[in-house]
Structure formats: C-alpha cells, structure tokens
Amino acid sequence: MSHEPLEFRVQESGVRLDKFLAPRLSDISRSAVQRLVGEGQITVNGEPVKASYKVQPGDRVVVHLLPHEDAELLAQEIPLDVVYEDEHLLVVNKPAGMVVHPAPGHPAGTLVNALLAYAPELAAGQDSRAEAERRPGIVHRLDRDTSGLIVVARSDKVRRALQRQFKERQVTKAYLALLDGHLQPAWGRIEAPIGRDPHHRQRMAVLPGGREAVTEYHVLEQFAHQVGPAAGRYSLVEAQPHTGRTHQIRVHFSSIDHPVVADPVYGRRRCSLPLERQFLHARRLAFQHPVARKRIDLEAPLPPDLERVLTLLRTA
C-alpha cells in the first residue's frame, strides 16, 4: 500500500522544521519527525534538509510516508494505567504523548504495543481485515496529546459490539477542556459539520457538506488575570461529543473563537500558561458491557500537568 505525499505551505518564519511539522502530523511525535528527516522522507522546496532547518514563508514542505503495514507489531513492556478490567475488555487511562496505534513514522511505543505485552491474547482472535489486525482491540481513538479513558476489547466480537454502541451514540464521553476566553452562554450545543480542510489535508475544519458533528458543553469555571504566567481569560468546560469526528472538540471550539488552550494546530499562536500540550482530557466514559449487560461508568482524574495549570489559575 502506498501513501500519498503530504504537502504543507509555510506561512510563519524562524520555526524549526521538526517543530513546524510535529503538530501537523497528529499521529507522529517530534522525535519520529526528526527520524523521517534523517531518512530523507521530508524535503523542503524539493531538497533534503536537517531537522534544525528554520522554515520560511512560502517554503514547500513535503512528507513522504513509507508503507508500514508489513512491519511486525511488537509487544513492548510499557506501563499502563488500567482503571477497569475483566475477561472481555479493559479501560486504560492513556497518558498524553502516547499514540494509540502504529502509524507511518511511529511504528512502536504506542498503546497497541503496550497492550500486546499486557494482554497477549489481543494478537489472536481478530478478524482478517488489515485495519483490525493493525489495531488489535482498539475500539475508538484519542489524539496523541489528549489524555484520558479509552476502552479496549479482548475479542473481535466485543470490539464490534462496542463500536456499534459508539456508532449508535449509546456511549457517554465527557472531556475537560480549558478554552481561551470567557465562553457564553454557560450551557450550549455546537452543531457544525466537520470535514477535511481542503487547504491543509492534515487538519479538519467546519465545512458545508462535512459530516454531522454535535458537541454539548457546560462551563465549570472561568478565570481572568491581568499579569503573570496566568495572564488571560479562560473557561474550564466539560464537553460531551455526541459524534466521533476527528479532532471534533478542538475544531468545534476553535470555530466559535474559543480554542482549546495550547492547541498547536487549532489554537492561538501564543500561550502564556506552562503547558506542553493542549488542555484536553477524556475524564469520563460510560457504556453498556456487551457481555455482562451492565452499565460501566468510569472517571479518570486530571493528570498532574493539567492540574498544575488549574492550581495556578485558581491562586494567581
């Protein structure tokens, strides 16, 4: 299977090539970008460059992703925060920075690699379709830099049953997000179709003719500070996506001019808060157990990096 090259036109200046590309390749870490540069899979204006190259306005950056489907999936002993487990499924509190499944430029160190070591039975019992084999047990996804709860099926039958619940909107998902600005009203619903951005193929956007996307939200706290590292106006919200579009919460809040704080793709260019990733955490997940027929309702606390930011805002 071949992969169509990805092309980006640079608008800013003075940013390292690897730093420019990392947020635009959502499934690939910055270190993986550096490796791709070293392997000659990334060019600028048709020429190979170093990862430290400073991009300039008008530069044409092309990323050639080599196929990875034939690479063997490795079981890796990577610590997992398992919050629920039985013989049919498990729920993991995924840390920020972890990719869910192997992708071009990121063949290892993913949640799938960790799961294969934790639950070796996932390597068997999947159907023969390439997608299922490459993502054993994976029911849904979280962005690399979004932390929180993700459910994993231990058999293909359970995976299909859970995916059907997601498709039929029977699963409750609740995220905590810190947004730029004071969002009004305190309760709201965003209904705006989402599709692939025709100008930036690695981004999503609100587009006429896009796929239906619905997000409800509730403002929990608001902050306003004039000076210091917490300077700015912010809203802490709980967001419930009723559909599962790529980057849905990030795109929806950006579309109403209240982007997720520190979002490198859809957010403000500058963030005064001490954050290395977007403030977005999947804190609650509730679904019907496909076998036990009981409701599973789980929560994951905010990770320390996000909790520190809230503490700063509350005490500044």
Residue 125 — very low, low, confident or very high, per pLDDT cuts 50/70/90? low
Q: Out of 112-116, 161-165, 183-187, 201-205, which region has the weakest mean confidence (pLDDT)?
A: 201-205
**271/282 Cα distance (integer angstroms):** 22
Residue 231 — very low, low, confident or very high, per pLDDT cuts 50/70/90? confident
The CATH number of domain 170-316 is 2.60.320.10: no
pLDDT at 2 over 70: no
Among 162, 152, 29, residue whose Cα is nearest residue 82: 152
Please state the CATH superfamily assignment of the domain spanning residues 6-63 in this structure: RNA-binding S4 domain (3.10.290.10)
In the prediction, which pLDDT does 126 show? 54
Query: What tens digit of pLDDT does each residue of 257-313 get?
Result: 999 999 988 998 778 899 999 999 999 999 999 999 999 999 999 999 999 999 999
Residues serving a catalytic function are: 143
**187/263 Cα distance (integer angstroms):** 22
In the prediction, which pLDDT does 289 show? 98
Residue 94 CB-half CA count within 13 A: 34
- Asked if domains 68-168 and 170-316 share a fold, the reply is yes
149, 141 contact by CB (below 8 A)? no
DSSP 8-state code for residue 113: H
Q: Is the pTM of this model over 0.75?
A: yes
In the prediction, which pLDDT does 52 show? 86
What residue ranges do the domains of the chain occupy? 6-63, 68-168, 170-316
| Max CA distance (Å), the chain | 58
Query: What tens digit of pLDDT does each residue of 51-100 get?
Result: 889 999 889 898 877 555 445 788 999 999 999 999 999 999 999 999 99
Residues 6+ apart with CB under 8 A from 204: 194, 195, 196, 197, 245, 246, 247, 248, 251
Tokens of 69: 């489907």
Among 55, 259, 276, residue whose Cα is nearest residue 144: 276
Query: What tens digit of pLDDT does each residue of 22-64 get?
Result: 778 766 667 778 878 877 788 898 888 888 899 998 898 988 7
In the prediction, which pLDDT does 133 show? 52
**287/267 Cα distance (integer angstroms):** 31
Query: How far lies 289's CA from each of 176, 283, 295, in Å?
Result: 24, 19, 6
Q: Assign residue 113 a region: left if phi > 0, alpha if psi is -120 to 50, beta otherwise?
A: alpha
Class of domain 68-168: alpha beta
Using CA of residue 170, residue 174, residue 180, residue 181, what is the dihedral sign?
A: positive
Residue 108 — very low, low, confident or very high, per pLDDT cuts 50/70/90? confident
In the prediction, which pLDDT does 181 show? 96
Query: What tens digit of pLDDT does each residue of 187-220 get?
Result: 999 999 999 888 776 789 999 989 999 999 999 9
Tokens of 253: 């809040």
Query: How far lies 25's CA from each of 97, 99, 110, in Å?
Result: 13, 11, 15
